[in-house]
Structure 1
């Protein structure tokens, strides 16, 4: 069964449905603890011809453009693997559900998806991940989260791809100080969504502030708050020299518009979820020039050879699809799963327990610099601490130009994550 290329107009709909990326064959599991083709131990989600992975993503909620691009990146990886013969003589099959960034919806969809899959190639959203934490542990289901909070690293079923929100902010502030945009003793603002995503970013700001004598003007918001002008007004009155965001793209637009309208004009630091290229078509488009993005994955416009290859394949398959950093994120999620599955195959154990064992055996996963080298041998620790720094640029594909290549600041190296041993 050959995957048909969807035109961009059908992208969101196509990525919310289950998508078969493999040759047709039996979809029945070999059986719990059974031995299948090649003498491989299997349980759920694996047959003699297929390995089925799941996606619980967002193609209809507040991160729908990012979520759709991540889904597509996952899909492009599966295409590449299947064209090369699959893994362990099995083709990759992906089942997709859309929770719309709603935890209650995810709780309803999870029981429908869980029995079909070996693991999750993508599980998007901190609130969704929090709602499903116990389910993942009870079902021994390994998931690559499109959520990068260091607070989830105490869950052995989490396969973090890249660094964490707190370390993205630590590195971003270090870049600001290296560039002379802030200095020791300054006051900075941090606007953050109440919850794991926003709170974990704030943890990074506090860690950097403690090391450099910075004062933080905090502002906690909800994911549905739209007009943040009053918050920015207060920060201007407090004399902030920079603003940090762990917000939705729409909230970023509000902050940037106020930053310009109030003539505050300070540099603003966000991480990957805070920016969507669609903002370049919004009323805030002329106010985005001071926005920097710190992310562990390469921006869509990166000159890294693998990032350029993935971008070209994406544009060919989805000529009108959203161009954003979700595409390389989704592809690299797949690459890490590929490393895990190959190790599990070598161990002759493609069961869920076998996947967990294989993950902890990986000390050096290289992804052609889509993210920094990953080490999963120390549970509780971020698998990497490096980031790319980008700046909003309307002329760049995806709206972000890389201004600092992959790097890890001294402060990030010294940072102790919550569950690091």
Structure 2
């Protein structure tokens, strides 16, 4: 058995990838009206809440584009839930997680959401830009509070969907500013970008193209499918354009292709700047490892797995216990941070005596100055604005999680003129 994920405070375990699509316990006995519980004598509820349990959903891609990444996000969700439950839960109730594998298939995701929605108070992990976008109308109609694992600007304006970090376009602006500041790019240079079709890649491309125009750089972008297995034509086009840096906004498999093909095209010495979802530590044990270690940088609003904050230490120490056989990644931290944010909204809703979805969503949008320790300080009060605008720069490392910090949180002044 190479992979076991334990559902916190639940009676069954999720064992192996194949079983994820059918796993999870359901809170079919969810209370409606008022419920009683320790610390909450008369709390209004609707979905996913019983007298002793708050059930939260996880709808993720455990097996296709983001398998290893999603598993570590889920581990972070579980570590957060375990910590909460050990301290007495929220509103006198234990947190329970139920998980489904949507395989980055929007039709499957819609089916699984429909089967899950009556049994959960909210969703603590919803991963994948195409999936999130396809579910937005239902999420709004159901007043379902959701923590999105995708930093797309496309979710802004939806009160129910919160993103604990900085959108991809602002990451790209910050990242390109960093490359210019480090002397890796100068005015007149050409940059190339391999980006995924859909919200993630196209959002990142918009930010990169804007930053290039402001920094005196020429921009060449090449769009690929999320499942692309051959990007040789796109790489050849970047070579023909004489690019001086390559940006990657896809999945880790395409990042590996960029790294392995670059040397044979005479592009092996160029900086490669990628978004967080484009990197996985498994790249360091792949044929692309040497190139990745030498040239790759990650621009993101999430700290690396190993570090000095209490959250990093907590997740590090507990990771092996909830993700047996899996290698840690920084994405375990966003799983934990998502739990922190949604948990704060649930606590506030409980204090108001109303644990309905709409109440939790309203309290989610009252949160400001949220210090997760692993993201920039978050302000979620305006659904139309990003919760943060800062990014940091990481590089590959042999440390657990495969990354180490190069530059702490910062925001480029170029953002002030950006109009997405």
- Counterpart of 1:384? 388
Confirm or deny: 8 A CA contact 1:6 1:318 kept in the other structure: no
- Output the CA distance in 2 between the equivalents of 1:64 and 1:317: 16
- Output the CA distance in 1 between the equivalents of 2:87 and 2:97: 17
Q: For 1:252-331, what aligned pairs fall within 5 Å after superposition?
A: 252-264=255-267, 265-288=269-292, 289-331=294-336
- Output the CA distance in 2 between the equivalents of 1:287 and 1:13: 33
- The alignment's TM-score, normalised by the length of structure 2, stands at 0.91
- Does 2:352 correspond to 1:347? yes
What secondary structure, in the 3-state scheme, does the structure 1 residue paired with 2:414 have? helix
Give 1:207 deviation, angstroms. Answer: 2.1
- Output the CA distance in 1 between the equivalents of 2:417 and 2:17: 38
Give 1:63 deviation, angstroms. Answer: 0.5
- Does 2:251 correspond to 1:248? yes
- Partner deviation per Cα, 1:250-308 (whole Å, 9 max, x = no partner): 11111111112222121011111101111222222222121111111111133434213
Give 1:416 deviation, angstroms. Answer: 4.7
Q: For 1:10-21, what aligned pairs fall within 5 Å after superposition?
A: 10=15, 12=17, 18-19=23-24
- Does 2:76 correspond to 1:66? no
Q: For 1:5-404, what aligned pairs fall within 5 Å after superposition?
A: 10=15, 12=17, 18-19=23-24, 28-31=29-32, 33-34=33-34, 36-37=36-37, 38-264=41-267, 265-288=269-292, 289-367=294-372, 369-393=373-397, 395-404=398-407
- Output the CA distance in 2 between the equivalents of 1:111 and 1:20: 15
- Output the CA distance in 2 between the equivalents of 1:344 and 1:185: 53
Confirm or deny: 8 A CA contact 2:9 2:82 kept in the other structure: no
- The alignment's TM-score, normalised by the length of structure 1, stands at 0.91
Give 1:230 deviation, angstroms. Answer: 2.8
Confirm or deny: 8 A CA contact 2:24 2:100 kept in the other structure: no
Confirm or deny: 8 A CA contact 1:56 1:122 kept in the other structure: yes
Give 1:149 deviation, angstroms. Answer: 0.5
Give 1:194 deviation, angstroms. Answer: 1.2
Question: Unaligned 5+ residue runs, structure 2?
Answer: 1-7
Question: Unaligned 5+ residue runs, structure 1?
Answer: none
Aligned residues: 408
Confirm or deny: 8 A CA contact 2:365 2:380 kept in the other structure: yes
